């Protein structure tokens, strides 16, 4: 019962973060909201796994979380530096 309430709260959090991603004043606010959606989805996947008695969902959740962090860092690097290559290549 408590896990269902947690899942519902996570769904509300995802909806609010999606609204923030759509209405964010800057690109960095939108990226942060997208990262929040990914984090909430990761936790929701783990909760669904425990509700259904499938603890192997926790492994999937951890992999999804790692991909979420790597993707967020890559996007932030792209917007901050204007590309994904080495910084010294552009200065020459």
80 pLDDT tier (thresholds 50, 70, 90): confident
**Domain span holding position 39:** 2-91
pLDDT averaged over every residue in the chain: 90
Long-range CB pairs of 65-68, under 8 A, 24+ apart, other chains included:
65/38, 65/39, 68/35, 68/38, 68/39, 68/42
Residue among 44, 57, 64, 54 nearest 4 (CA): 44
For the chain, counts of helices (H) and of strands (E): 4, 0
Does 91 have pLDDT greater than 80? Answer: no
Does 85 have pLDDT greater than 80? Answer: no
Q: How many Å apart are CA 19 and CA 14, to the nearest integer? A: 9
Q: How many domains does the chain have?
A: 1
Average pLDDT over residues 14-34: 94
82 pLDDT tier (thresholds 50, 70, 90): confident
């Amino acid at each position: 019962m408590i896990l269902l309430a947690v899942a519902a709260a996570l769904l509300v959090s995802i909806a609010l973060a999606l609204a923030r991603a759509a209405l964010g004043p800057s690109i960095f606010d939108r990226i942060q909201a997208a990262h929040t959606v990914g984090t909430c989805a990761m936790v929701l996947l783990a909760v669904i796994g425990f509700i259904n008695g499938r603890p192997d969902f926790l492994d999937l959740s951890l992999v999804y979380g790692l991909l979420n962090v790597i993707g967020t860092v890559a996007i932030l690097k792209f917007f901050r530096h204007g590309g994904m290559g080495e910084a010294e290549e552009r200065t020459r």
